[in-house]
Chains A and B, each alone.
Chain A
């Protein structure tokens, strides 16, 4: 066995050119072959790459899809998103646990199947969902679970997809039961485009004119932050550096977002097209798509699209016959880390490191991937770029509202009749949106995912756009029966898990915020706890190093702002003696009493 491991490590490393920066690919390959990256394997990889063991171990220990201890041949990852929970994911989890005879986090005795929870896998429109290795299973019920487990018990490689989904989900290279659920298409993303049309237009122009055109279109980043794309390209283009890069952020991990999944399934050409245009504009010859591990089922298909584009002359040497413009794209797989959707963490990950965000400045446009000037854009943004090139900046700027132009893909999920993808012009109001997706009795809408804001009825007249309610696309709808504080708790638990741990305000502050919320939910909070949450939440926002900590208090702070009575209803009066109501001495001595086999001599 250990000899096979050694030869496998050697083979995998040499396939990756013994390049330490390909660490993600190397450890993923070993994880795939052996079910873990064992201590032994880490030593071998370090030796093979002539690096330190800690370089390997820091990566293996960071990403949730990697493990230093053996897991089952099949790893079942149940999505434990709030939307899944509302659709009965607890029953599904119980069904898996009962059928397999193991608890969450455990592996069956025969070492075949491991059962785990995982945060949002981008399937909120077909919940409850789970991943069985790379295969996505959707719309789960306890009965379906029984069937899946029976199949897996008989054969760990069993085909679980009886009926593939619509569109390219049925493609031979995808074969997923995932449905696109495109409820409304618009003119920018879900309209046809001849492959190469945008590139050819761009190649007729000078690179600086391409940037000028994108700038003129007023296109802003679609990932959530909304940075003007043309300006980003200009910064990258102007920055000194021998080699420049185009990175595509396909690590859509924001709970409730699944728009990139559908673009990657139906419009990958457009995304690659936009990346190629960016490559030409900023003078880069390498593009990287950072694809989240949860979308591994799309990889083979995406590779085939890239291969086709190469043979069609849309990638590779002298793209579209343009001498001097060489551009190719590779896919970098992630390994399960929300933080890698943050652009500097994404760069770290592409460089074979832990997904730690980097200090800014320097910004990626000045010094990014491999220290070269780098443009990092969202999947949807690149598609918009392609459309801007094809149809012109004026056409694009004509759609939308004020400073928010073009269309936006919304991933709508939760309490509504028609969850799915909606391509809408910017400026649509929340009310219009709720009507569109058939939502009834809506009490609250979480705009922008876990890191976004929870709004109530008073705000339903507001607009979805950069200047009002900004969103990377995630819209989660909650009706009047939902406990919004529990929703905030769920989001906060997510951030506590996903904080990279580098900076204290985020690592510790989020835990303290969660504890304070739990105290209130337990009916032991006082009015002063609300003040504490507000002060601490704002400190975490101000003092955190990257976008995660700068937004993680939002679910609590916005529910507190917009649904304060829900909090106040749970508060208790402070003790007159100055004792903390939240401290429960009986519970605190419980462990010791059990060990001592006696109760405390004090009557509590």
Chain B
């Protein structure tokens, strides 16, 4: 019944979208998303504000037994961020697609919007499903919708390749998840997450947990399963990147938190905590170093998403380890940090991708070294991007700081209480190094795009984007600022989730975390006050004095030109010289040699690729190709051959059953 109504709704949506006039499609899609969002966020808000969990619908599914759609506080939290990002993405899409409306066919645009609405709806289904068949169904729907969305610019060769790579990797993950659910089903007779408790108590925790970790990790972009992210994001339209990177990869985090819930045995929790922490550290460091050396804005942002997933997993790992050691204070704080960082990242990462979309739609490139001085032509985009940059660098006074502060606090508390000291110190070391390199990566991104002199004439021709896009970007911006300035209230949103994990969570939060967050809020306000005061005093003093303008000081050299400016590549050159072993560089052209006193014209282009990518160009891929080619010979296209194959199959089954083999 549930699936039939789902199909009906889908058909209705497709029909309306395809029939709507071209310029109205976005509004139809937005209202559909708004309907879904309102329907989903009303129960979500009531669950978060204190109601216990809520059952929405009971469904019978063909496999894995009966399932329900229900909303508990963890689902509610994710529903909220999906809804906010979904609405922002819809509003943004109009301006971004304006340019394509004449180029693409009407059906193409309709398909894109259908996929966008389906993506939002399926993500909500994923987080409210109790597991089993309905979960896998929604998960697959999500994958297919996002695949179609990446494929928007399909005539470009690299888009096609990226989308296919994404589809293949997601299905490997899907198989692992199916195996995981089959594991639960065979142990307990039903594929619900809730049965994991029973399943884990029977002792085969690790294998099933690892199946889920790998399956969900594929979506989240855990190392070394992250390779699809830096390919898919530059290929996809910016608003699609925003929703995929902002919230879709978080469904992987959701899945792992959900699975983690049911592990109770301390020894196993300890092992799992270590695995998660180690994966978090490796993912975070790998992501951030690769982000810092990228020369393409969207690739850089994609790697930074990987890094943020790493940070979230470091928090989760610390929380799990503390949980295993019975230290509920640290467990609660680190869990809250990880959850808050999940929310925060969804805001600033979508804002960053929207910003990247703004510059792409004006200048048709995302290569960093084509920009420079964009802030003068697109001031509002520059300000919003600046806010997102400060937030992602986890600097006060914005939201990124609060989330990372809680993770740090969890680790320091763990260290000071002498439990899991070495693990917490490893996490601390990694997180601080990540924090440092993020600053490098994002000052590089922001400065090469928005500051300095233009490196390309397209910059001078660019203008600010339309108001609707600015409005869409304002949604995450407001959330970023509010969480940053009032963290003591933001923590209330995740209090009920933490309580679900640790019964004492709310007393810990009220007695320990909230007073601290009040102080942080005061500090942040003081920071803003001091800065404003200094600036006002300075401006007043300057009123009576002479302010002159002049060219940038060239250190005595009078013929400076724009090409001497530091590029993105030169900015991160120092880090590259340390991290050479992590990247694989492809160089086109030739650099100017040291012995050339009067250099002729040179073309030089360097790209830093992931070493992990090589895994996908290795000998076994070749082997797969060959095997594939052999098998393809069976595809003759003649119906009589296929009937023969069917007959052979039946005979084989018959013979096997004769010998009692099946």
The answer on A and B forming one complex is no
